[in-house]
């Protein structure tokens, strides 16, 4: 059983760790960005009780730093409402005491809302601007006026154009954020996943993609078994089997020329690679095994 561990004596290696708040007016892509940075499922592994008054949104642990993304309760749920007193308070609270702030804005230009949020940010805390949705601008030189507007607003530690949706330049953003965090060991365990957890998560990712793509088309009598899971260095070879009750369900899952299953498998593989931190060779077969749901031994094997 292999375990991925936090780096040895990380503090001695210049490891950095701290809390990061992500702020911005509604719809600039804050949630998309946090999810893209930490991976949608990373919270599964953070079982530790919270140490801060902020709500934990997710943790990103790299070889060099641990970025703890925090939020205040209510911030995400209120954020679709107009910029008002309540949101002002939420922004102030979400940035209180954090080590770094990421201000998210979007092209083509700063709005009144962006300026209002920026004005709420404490002077003593370093702020990075993530210029999100850079993918929506065909000619990247069109971002320059926005960068100039930002630079006039206050001193930013960095201004990084990114695309949360396309995952552009997220590593650059991570590196810039990490520079602002205090030296210190990770507060939370680096994704302390065991083989068993990884097998389980691999099946979960496949199951999730099936349901996301097919919804009610495929009944609940669909299960995913991991038949083979081997790790060679950073590479994982995974063979999975999707069990269905009827040939008609198999046809739906596979789609024309197997295209649908290919899409499902590559989406699941991308999630696995992000979470496991290494390349994944994933092979998925779809088998009709009538009555599997009534088979006690099979249920045991699948971990139900």
The interface with ligand GDP within residues 78-107 (CB under 6 A) comprises 79
CB of 205 to ligand GDP, least distance (A): 21
Among 135, 195, 245, 298, binds ligand GDP (CB under 6 A): 135
Q: Are 22 and 16 in contact (CB under 8 A)?
A: no
Residue 233 token pair: 């260095």
Does position 72 interact with ligand GDP (CB under 6 A)? The reply is no
CB 157 within 8 A of CB 179: yes
Residue 80: CB minimum distance to ligand GDP, A: 7
Nearest residue to 42 (alpha-carbon basis) of 4, 80, 16, 78: 4
Check residue 266 for interaction with ligand GDP (CB under 6 A): no
CB of 190 to ligand GDP, least distance (A): 26
Q: Can you tell me which of 16, 41, 54, 133 binds ligand GDP, judged by CB under 6 A?
A: 133
Q: Which is nearer to ligand GDP, 138 or 247 (CB)?
A: 138
Cα–Cα distance between 252 and 92 in angstroms, integer? 50
Left (φ > 0), alpha (ψ -120 to 50) or beta: where does 9 sit?
left
Report if residue 131 touches ligand GDP, rule: CB under 6 A: no
Site string for ligand GDP, 157-196 (x = CB under 6 A): ------xxx-------------------------------
> DSSP secondary-structure letter at 168?
B
Distance CA 248, CA 159 (A): 52
Q: Which of 184, 195, 159, 186 is nearest to 68 (CA)?
A: 186
The binding site for ligand GDP (CB under 6 A) comprises 24, 26-32, 79, 132-133, 135-136, 163-165
């Amino acid at each position: 059983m292999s375990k991925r561990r936090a780096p040895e004596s990380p503090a001695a290696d210049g490891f950095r760790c701290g809390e990061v708040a992500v702020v911005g007016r509604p719809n600039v892509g804050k949630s998309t960005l946090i999810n893209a940075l930490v991976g949608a499922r990373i919270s599964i592994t953070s079982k530790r009780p919270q140490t801060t008054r902020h709500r934990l949104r997710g943790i990103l642990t790299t070889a060099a730093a641990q970025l703890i993304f925090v939020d205040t309760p209510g911030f995400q749920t209120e954020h679709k409402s107009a910029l008002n007193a309540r949101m002002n308070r939420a922004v102030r609270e979400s940035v209180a005491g954090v080590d770094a702030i990421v201000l998210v804005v979007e092209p083509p230009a700063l709005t009144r809302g962006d300026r209002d949020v920026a004005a709420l940010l404490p002077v003593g805390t370093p702020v990075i601007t993530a210029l999100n949705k850079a993918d929506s601008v065909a000619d990247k030189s069109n971002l320059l006026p926005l960068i100039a507007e930002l630079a006039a607003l206050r001193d930013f530690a960095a201004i990084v154009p990114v695309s949360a949706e396309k995952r552009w330049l997220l590593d650059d953003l991570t590196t810039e954020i990490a520079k602002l965090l205090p030296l210190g060991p990770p507060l939370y365990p680096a994704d302390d996943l065991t083989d068993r957890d990884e097998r389980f998560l691999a099946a979960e990712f496949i199951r999730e993609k099936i349901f996301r793509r097919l919804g009610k088309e495929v009944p609940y009598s669909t299960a995913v078994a991991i038949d083979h899971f081997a790790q060679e260095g950073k590479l994982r070879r995974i063979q999975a089997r999707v069990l269905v009750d009827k040939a008609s369900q198999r046809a739906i899952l596979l789609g024309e020329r197997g295209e649908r299953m290919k899409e499902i498998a590559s989406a699941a593989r991308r999630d696995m690679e992000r979470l496991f931190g290494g390349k994944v060779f994933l092979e998925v077969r779809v088998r009709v095994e009538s009555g599997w749901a009534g088979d006690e031994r099979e249920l045991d094997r699948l971990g139900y």
